[in-house]
Amino acid sequence: MKILKFFFLILTFVISISTMVLSDDKIAFINLDNVIKKTNLGKSIIINLETIDKKNIEFLKSNQINLKDEEKKIKKKINIISKEELDKELNLLKKKLNDLNFKKNEMVKNYQKEKNTQLNDFFKKINPIIQNYMDNQSINVLLDKKNIYIGKSTSDITENIIKLINEKFE
């Protein structure tokens, strides 16, 4: 009797493993970085974000140069002006520096917010295209290529998706 129970337990175990191994789930992967870089829609987002970033950097550099010039002027005056005036000018310089740091932090925060907004809009636009492709190709699971150690190159659908997105958003 014990042998019969043991046999059924082993048989059940083998059947459950064989069904997992023979599962018919089709898995594919996609390189989302390439989708953003190579699609027309993604390229426009990258250009827009680079433009914002360049403007921010130019603004910060010009203000830093102005503050350094003011610092040099104050250093030249150290022996000429009174201590009270020197303290007053140094405090003003510190205030301007703090204001610049605050503006810098705000620019970084606004840039990140804009970047997240644009990328979320991008993915909202392309998700139906990807979902339709998955339905047509009977793909059950789609993974990001960054999270894949190794896989068949035939499972990479990146180029197909890029073509579909470019056709849709010309």
Q: Radius of gyration (Cα) for the chain, nearest Å? A: 30
Strands (E), 12-115: 27-30
Confidence of residue 163 (pLDDT cuts 50, 70, 90): very high
Confidence of residue 76 (pLDDT cuts 50, 70, 90): confident
d(CA 42, CA 61): 28
Q: Which of 53, 30, 31 is nearest to 118 (CA)?
A: 53
pLDDT of amino acid 8: 54
d(CA 98, CA 34): 39
pLDDT of amino acid 13: 57
pLDDT of amino acid 12: 61
| Reported pTM | 0.74
DSSP helix, strand, coil percent of the chain (3-state; round to 5): 80, 5, 15
What is the length of the chain?
Answer: 170
**Mean pLDDT, the chain, whole residue set:** 86
Strands (E), 19-170: 27-30, 141-144
pLDDT of amino acid 143: 86
**Residue indicated by tokens 């705000």:** 106
11-68 pLDDT tens trace: 565 565 555 544 567 889 899 999 999 999 999 999 999 999 999 999 999 999 999 9
